[in-house]
Every structure is written in structure tokens, then in C-alpha cells.
């Protein structure tokens, strides 16, 4: 009899609590694609946004910016917001067929990251790093240029370094180094440098800062951050996989600028605008990016201002 009564009480409790549980669970979702280099700040932005919007669940997918753009194009990837580590990816791959507008919001710079187990960590600096990574017992890497902006930017940095340091043939010799490795995403390089599987890797400064890893700060003439050297950056180019299979696209060196958009086929566009508003708030998302090592650019529109949702225009620098 006691067991029967306990069962009745438990059943009643479930009936009473069930509506409360349903009310507490998020009833809406935002599908967010973003560059791997934004993983750490986006995790905090997601947490802050969800705390003030308990009815919305942000579902993030991080990968190389080019790979995610192709997912939107080729695989009909359902995406409400797309954040690229290079605003040019949105211009070249998504506009005008898959997106109407593009907002620039942050910058970064390339560094040579290393860890506690890296060989010659006590010797490497801004004057000799290119010589250190060429040593036979040193391993180093970068992300895949066809999939990730950090990958093709690493190649551009090497080309610029050849010119800046007067080291003829450096670029080709570096790519032929027997212990040079390529990984699909830049964020994968972090774990390998931390473990000692790689001695050095080209990475965004913000990622190195977020993971507490040491890095060589490269000269502004080659780190792709300083607009003062934009003309010199343009002297470096690399061909990567184009939008259509079998095609190529030439990427030209230029200052690093992140961009985002809401794709035309976004299933939850109204919710995406709410998230975008939070990201563009200097006391919201932009504050998180700054705290984690990324300087703010603008935010400002790329080209067509009239196509940006009215709810976002008030956050833009004109």
C-alpha cells in the first residue's frame, strides 16, 4: 500500500512539474555557422545571449570559413547567421545569390604560435622565426588554404616574409620542408602545439591569447593587420579552390577583417536579427571580442547599405 501511495505521489509530481519543465526549455533556435577562430568568444556570446533570451537555443557549428560557405551553397546548409574570418569569403562565395549584405566587425593578425614543448622556444623571435621553422628537427604547420582563411593567409605571410626579409625562395623552401603539415582547421593546430606534436603553427593572435600559448609577434609589414601596409600585402597572392568544382580563385593579400551575414534562406531570420543586434552592441558581443584579443572594425557595411536590415543599421559606423 505504501509503495502504491508513493507511486501516486510521484505521478502527481510529474504531472505538476511537466508544464514547468516545458516552459523552462528553449522553444526556439538559431543555427549559427562561424569560423573556428571565433569558437571561444562565440561560446561566451552564446552564453550571454541565452541568459537574456531563455526561450532561444543557439546551435553553433565551427569550421573553416570557406568550408562553411560551401555547406550553405552545395549542401543546402540551414544557417541563420554566418560569421567568416574573412569578409571577402562572403563577397566572393555568397553574394549576391545566397546573401544580400555583409557587415565587417573585427580584425586580427597572424602570429607564429608555439608552446612549452616547442624546440628552440627560448631562441625564436621576430628576426629569426623563418630560419627556426626551416631547421630539420622542427615541425610546423598551418590550416588548409582551400578550407580556411587562416590557411591561405599563412601562405600570404610566408610570401610577404620572403620579400620583407630579403630571403629569396623562402616560400617554396618552406612548403617543401619535410616536417611541414596542413590541418583542415586552424583551431586543430592549438592542441597539437600544446601537446608538442607540432613545434610551431601560424594562427590568429586572438586564438593564441585565448589558449594561453606563446607566439612570435610578426612585423606589421607581414602580419596582415596594419592598413598602412595594404599595398604591400597586395603583392602576395594564392590560388584556392573556387566556388564551382574544378575552378580556382585568386586570393590577394589584404588586412584581416571578419564579416557576417544572414543568408537569404535563413529559417529563423527574425531570431538571427536579435542575435546580430547583440553581437553589434559595444556592451555585448563586441566587448567579448575585444576582451579576447580582437580589435573592432566599424562595425560597417560592405557596399550595399540599403540591403542591411533596418534593425541593424543603427549599430553601424557610417
Asked if the model's pLDDT at residue 83 lies above 60, the reply is yes
Laid out side by side, the sheet with 140-143 consists of 180-183, 140-143, 200-204, 110-114, 214-217
> What pLDDT does 25 receive?
60
With respect to residue 12, please indicate whether it lies within any of the assigned structural domains: no
Is 239 found in the same domain as 138?
A: yes
Asked if the model's pLDDT at residue 19 lies above 50, the reply is no
Residues in the chain: 318
With respect to residue 15, please indicate whether it lies within any of the assigned structural domains: no
Lowest mean pLDDT among 22-26, 98-102, 168-172, 313-317: 22-26
Asked if the model's pLDDT at residue 1 lies above 70, the reply is no
Asked if the model's pLDDT at residue 13 lies above 50, the reply is no
Final residue belonging to a domain, choices 251, 277, 299: 251
> What pLDDT does 246 receive?
86
Task: Measure CA 68 to chain center.
Answer: 11
Q: How many domains does the chain have?
A: 2
Q: pLDDT tier at 20 (50, 70, 90 boundaries)?
A: very low
Is 227 found in the same domain as 183?
A: yes
Distance from C-alpha of 96 to C-alpha of 141, rounded to nearest angstrom: 34
Is 217 found in the same domain as 196?
A: yes
> What pLDDT does 231 receive?
96
> What pLDDT does 23 receive?
47
> What pLDDT does 9 receive?
44
With respect to residue 174, please indicate whether it lies within any of the assigned structural domains: yes
pLDDT digits (tens, 9 = 90+) for 55-65: 999 999 999 89
Is 165 found in the same domain as 90?
A: no
With respect to residue 20, please indicate whether it lies within any of the assigned structural domains: no
Burial bucket for residue 78 (CB in 10 Å: 0-12, 13-18, 19+): middle
Asked if the model's pLDDT at residue 4 lies above 50, the reply is no
With respect to residue 97, please indicate whether it lies within any of the assigned structural domains: yes
The stretch 180-202 carries a mean pLDDT of 94
pLDDT digits (tens, 9 = 90+) for 138-189: 999 999 999 899 999 999 999 999 999 999 999 999 999 999 999 988 888 9
Is 304 found in the same domain as 204?
A: no
Rounded to the nearest integer, the mean pLDDT of the chain is 91
Asked if the model's pLDDT at residue 2 lies above 50, the reply is no
Q: 12: part of which helix (H) or strand (E)?
A: helix 2-24
Asked if the model's pLDDT at residue 102 lies above 80, the reply is yes
Final residue belonging to a domain, choices 208, 233, 251: 251
CATH number at residue 236: 3.40.190.10
Asked if the model's pLDDT at residue 301 lies above 50, the reply is yes
The stretch 80-104 carries a mean pLDDT of 95
Q: Higher pLDDT residue, 223 or 20? A: 223
pLDDT digits (tens, 9 = 90+) for 224-263: 999 899 999 999 999 998 878 889 999 999 999 999 999 9
The stretch 38-56 carries a mean pLDDT of 96
Q: Which of 50, 55, 42 is nearest to 82 (CA)?
A: 42
Q: pLDDT tier at 77 (50, 70, 90 boundaries)?
A: confident
Percent of the chain with pLDDT over 90: 80
The pTM score is: 0.79
CB count in 10 Å sphere of residue 282: 11
CB crowding 112-133: b at 16 or more within 10 Å, else e:
bbbbeebbbeeebeeeebbebb
- The three-state secondary structure class of 35 is strand
Q: Higher pLDDT residue, 16 or 67? A: 67
Q: Cα–Cα distances in Å, from 13 out to 18, 25, 43, 76, 88? A: 8, 18, 35, 44, 56
Is 159 found in the same domain as 53?
A: no
Range of the domain at 187: 110-251
**Local structure of residue 307 (DSSP, 8 states):** G
Amino acid at each position: 500500500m505504501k509503495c502504491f501511495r508513493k507511486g501516486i505521489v510521484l505521478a502527481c509530481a510529474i504531472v505538476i512539474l511537466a508544464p514547468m519543465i516545458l516552459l523552462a526549455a528553449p522553444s526556439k533556435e538559431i543555427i549559427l555557422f562561424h569560423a573556428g577562430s571565433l569558437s571561444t568568444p562565440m561560446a561566451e556570446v552564446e552564453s550571454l545571449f541565452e541568459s537574456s533570451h531563455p526561450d532561444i537555443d543557439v546551435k553553433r557549428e565551427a569550421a573553416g570559413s570557406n568550408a562553411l560557405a560551401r555547406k550553405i551553397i552545395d549542401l543546402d546548409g540551414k544557417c541563420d547567421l554566418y560569421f567568416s574570418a574573412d569578409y571577402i569569403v562572403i563577397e566572393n562565395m555568397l553574394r549576391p545569390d545566397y546573401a544580400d549584405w555583409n557587415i565587417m566587425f573585427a580584425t586580427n593578425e597572424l602570429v607564429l604560435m608555439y608552446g612549452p614543448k616547442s624546440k628552440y622556444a627560448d631562441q625564436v623571435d621576430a628576426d629569426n622565426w623563418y630560419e627556426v621553422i626551416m631547421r630539420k628537427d622542427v615541425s610546423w604547420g598551418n590550416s588548409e588554404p582551400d578550407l580556411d582563411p587562416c590557411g591561405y593567409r599563412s601562405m600570404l605571410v610566408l610570401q610577404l616574409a620572403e620579400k620583407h626579409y630579403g630571403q629569396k625562395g623562402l616560400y617554396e623552401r618552406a612548403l617543401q620542408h619535410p616536417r611541414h603539415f596542413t590541418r583542415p582547421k586552424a583551431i586543430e593546430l592549438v592542441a597539437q602545439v600544446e601537446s608538442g606534436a607540432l613545434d610551431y603553427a601560424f594562427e590568429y593572435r586572438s586564438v593564441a591569447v585565448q589558449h594561453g600559448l606563446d607566439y612570435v609577434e610578426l612585423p606589421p609589414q607581414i602580419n596582415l593587420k596594419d592598413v598602412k601596409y595594404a599595398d604591400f600585402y597586395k603583392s602576395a597572392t594564392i590560388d584556392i579552390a573556387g566556388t564551382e568544382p574544378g575552378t580556382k580563385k585568386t586570393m590577394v593579400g589584404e588586412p584581416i577583417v571578419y564579416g557576417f551575414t544572414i543568408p537569404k534562406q535563413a529559417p529563423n531570420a527574425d531570431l538571427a536579427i536579435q542575435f546580430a543586434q547583440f553581437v553589434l552592441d559595444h556592451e555585448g558581443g563586441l566587448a567579448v571580442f575585444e576582451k579576447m584579443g580582437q580589435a573592432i572594425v566599424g562595425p560597417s557595411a560592405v557596399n550595399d547599405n540599403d540591403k542591411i536590415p533596418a534593425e541593424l543599421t543603427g549599430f553601424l559606423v557610417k
